[in-house]
Structure 1
Amino acid sequence: MSSLYKHLEFSDAAKQIRLLRLEPSPTGTDEYAFSLEVHDFQENSRPSYIAISYAWGLPIPKLPVVINGFRMEVQFNCWYALWQMRHHGYTSDVNFWIDSLCINQGDDAEKGHQVAMMGDIFSSASLVAASLGIGESLADVREILASGDNSKIGKLRGRFDQLPYFERVWIKQEIVLAKDVTIFYGLEKLSWSEFADAVNTIKVRSRYLKSDSPERVRLERISNSTQLCNHRSQVTQTPTFMDLVARYRTAKASVAVNKIYALLSLLPQNDPIRQKLPIRYGQSTCFPLFRDLIKLLYRYYKDERVGDKHMALSLIRDSLEIHGLDAERLSRQGFLSKHIAGERAQGRQVIERKLFWLH
């Protein structure tokens, strides 16, 4: 794949993006063919495109695509998301942005610049296409909601929450910051408003059940999909970095540092962590990232309670899987207070109270 990007290098990786466009398949094949081009991406000069949001999934199986004449293999979920675009009639006059192909994944420096732009990439897209993968008919969603059956409605949300898509940390910014979202599930598509209505219907119906009803408990459980709908509807509110760490503490990423990087675009533009945190990829990046976060939290978040900061750092340390020798190095270097163990219990209570309101 590196041969492809030799002909598509950025002159400034912080001010340009690559976009895909569907092309006719090579003669005698049914392989997907695309052209890939570099476009300027500055505030007053941004092309029109659809940004594809999806879960990378397992590394195998892989399927072939042809890009600028180069035949290569991509992971199944990437291939399927592109198939969905073609299936729904997005043809050669539409540009697409999809991270696994539009970013040279073998270039850590480029990846750092492009990841810093991800919030702008998804907020500037004419549409965010949320590919949930292969699934059942979305027509079932409308039928279940129309039925008024609380048990079926609760199970419906459970079906969505079991999808790997809603576990991803990256989809938080991809959905929350989007101008418009369409969900693609199997052969069908669903507008975001229909999806959000389904979630809201579940919340409203729970109010009419007895407080100790098992159905009410199940319906009111804070789920990944509910949390995402709530955040998108509250986009005008300004969470702090510690709020986001607590809210999305269980979200998943294939690379540990992305559990932090994926939150940055959800912060206000003037937030010091968003402005000053270096984005690095490569080997042994978790420890330097944790060290940078400690410095920034204590230097710029002076109004926050020490217990809150310690609790946030505890969650971050677990997310980055920093244990053993790395934790000892931090202690020896004096980055963590010797009183962190005593503060943790107090901080946990504060965080849990905040979590109730965040949902």
Structure 2
Amino acid sequence: IDLSHQQIRLFELTSTTGASHLEGVFHVVSLSTLPTYTALSYTWGDPARTKLIEIGGNGLAIPLNLWWFLHSWNSSKLEKTNIFWIDAICIDQTNILERNHQVRLMKKIYTNAAKVVVWLGQEADNSDVAMNFMATQGSAPLKRKGCGYKRLWTKDEGRALLALCDRAYWRRIWIIQEIIHAEKITVLCGKKSFEWKMLESLYGKLKTLELGSWLLHHDSAAGILSSSASVMVWQRAHWRHPETPKPHLNTLLEVFQDWQCSDIRDKVYGLLGMVDEETAVVVDYSKSVVELYEALRER
């Protein structure tokens, strides 16, 4: 890609449906003439666990969790689109200049995506039960029962939902700007999916129960309301509100200090797409952690 222009790579998955051998091709495009594409929001997982895919005849080792996403997508064909922006594939991770260039474009990449897919990982901890509940009953209204409300779910559904809302994905620093800048979000776990608005609806119902002191009458409800997933629902609504001013970088560093990343510099770089320009720093992976934090102090 030409680093003097706003160009990105898009990855087109070309494998036949259900194939275990995954392959695709790159398309280099300009941000001014973008085709329809899906941006992925996920967590890399253990960097030592990788699997090969083939791109243009060449092998590329990608995080195992990402391989499972591509395999799941290719098996289920939830959407017709097979064109993606995925950081581990579309950025040459060994090229510092390219990493700097592409990370600076992240806000535009996620804002311009036709959809952002949140990949929570493979089916586990009864997640299919939770995903089915969200897809079919996530937006169902609360129903009155006497002076309170009917139970939202069974005990098993509540436990499964809590496990889903507490997955490691929700505590990753990069997802903050990815979710906040996305226009449309689909949540995917295994081969099940639901739309983000279902999560917003569930959060609204839990807040209603909290106001009436009814949370304890619903298994796992208090845990779900305080989960990292619920925090992200609130954060997305807050930062996308037209009256919310762009925050100072120091404010965000404090708010999101407990969110996680494998490279400590990403505690800063992962938030730059949200801050006002006056308090921002320039993305530069050639700088050490000490140099970066010295630059923060000098602003």
**TM-score, with length taken from structure 1:** 0.69
Map 1:173-322 to 2 at 5 A. Answer: 173-209=177-213, 218-219=222-223, 222-234=226-238, 235-236=240-241, 237-238=244-245, 239-268=247-276, 271-274=277-280, 277-282=281-286, 285-296=288-299
Map 1:159-170 to 2 at 5 A. Answer: 159-170=163-174
Question: Can you list the C-alpha shifts for 1:85-128, whole angstroms capped at 9, x where unaligned?
Answer: 32342678642110001000000111011111111100110000
Give the match for residue 305 of structure 1.
none
Question: Can you list the C-alpha shifts for 1:230-273, whole angstroms capped at 9, x where unaligned?
Answer: 121121312332331222110000110001111111124xx312
The reply on whether 1:11 has 2:17 as its aligned counterpart is: no
**Distance in 2 between the 1:207 and 1:100 partners?**
43
Shift of the 201–142 alpha-carbon distance from structure 1 to 2, 3 Å rule, reads farther
The farther-off stretch of 254-263 and 198-207 is 198-207
One of 45, 48, 68 as aligned partner of 2:56:
68
Name the structure, 1 or 2, with higher relative contact order (CA <8 Å, separation 6+): 2
Q: Which amino acid aligns with 2:203?
A: V
Taking every aligned residue pair, what percent have the same amino acid on both sides?
Answer: 22
Q: Which amino acid aligns with 2:278?
A: P
Shift of 1:52: 0.8
Question: Can you list the C-alpha shifts for 1:203-249, whole angstroms capped at 9, x where unaligned?
Answer: 22222326999979935864321221112112131233233122211
Larger radius of gyration between Structure 1 and Structure 2: 1
**Distance in 1 between the 2:235 and 2:296 partners?**
24
SS in structure 2 of the partner of residue 34 of structure 1:
strand
**Distance in 1 between the 2:155 and 2:20 partners?**
44
The reply on whether 1:20 has 2:24 as its aligned counterpart is: no
Give the match for residue 71 of structure 2.
83
Give the match for residue 28 of structure 2.
38
SS in structure 2 of the partner of residue 39 of structure 1:
strand
Q: Which amino acid aligns with 1:272?
A: E
Shift of 1:183: 0.4
Q: Which amino acid aligns with 2:229?
A: S
SS in structure 2 of the partner of residue 133 of structure 1:
coil
Give the match for residue 52 of structure 1.
40
**Distance in 2 between the 1:92 and 1:220 partners?**
33
Does the CA-based 8 Å contact 2:171-2:259 persist in structure 1? yes
Q: Which amino acid aligns with 2:168?
A: P
Q: Which amino acid aligns with 2:254?
A: A
**Distance in 2 between the 1:53 and 1:214 partners?**
30
Does the CA-based 8 Å contact 1:203-1:219 persist in structure 2? no
SS in structure 1 of the partner of residue 120 of structure 2:
strand
**Distance in 2 between the 1:216 and 1:65 partners?**
40
Gaps of 5+ in 2: 141-150
Shift of 1:37: 2.1
SS in structure 2 of the partner of residue 280 of structure 1:
coil
Shift of the 151–208 alpha-carbon distance from structure 1 to 2, 3 Å rule, reads farther
Shift of the 279–14 alpha-carbon distance from structure 1 to 2, 3 Å rule, reads farther
Question: Can you list the C-alpha shifts for 1:162-196, whole angstroms capped at 9, x where unaligned?
Answer: 21110100000101110100001111111011122
One of 135, 139, 149 as aligned partner of 2:132:
139
CA RMSD after TM alignment: 2.8
Question: Can you list the C-alpha shifts for 1:21-57, whole angstroms capped at 9, x where unaligned?
Answer: 12246xxx84111001211123xx2232100111000
SS in structure 1 of the partner of residue 70 of structure 2:
helix
**Distance in 2 between the 1:163 and 1:13 partners?**
39
Shift of the 240–113 alpha-carbon distance from structure 1 to 2, 3 Å rule, reads same
**Distance in 1 between the 2:104 and 2:178 partners?**
13
Give the match for residue 299 of structure 1.
none
Shift of 1:11: 1.9
Q: Which amino acid aligns with 1:41?
A: L
**Distance in 1 between the 2:95 and 2:3 partners?**
14
- The structure richer in helix per residue is 1
**Distance in 2 between the 1:154 and 1:249 partners?**
29
Give the match for residue 7 of structure 1.
none
Shift of the 79–191 alpha-carbon distance from structure 1 to 2, 3 Å rule, reads same
The reply on whether 1:127 has 2:89 as its aligned counterpart is: no
Give the match for residue 105 of structure 1.
93
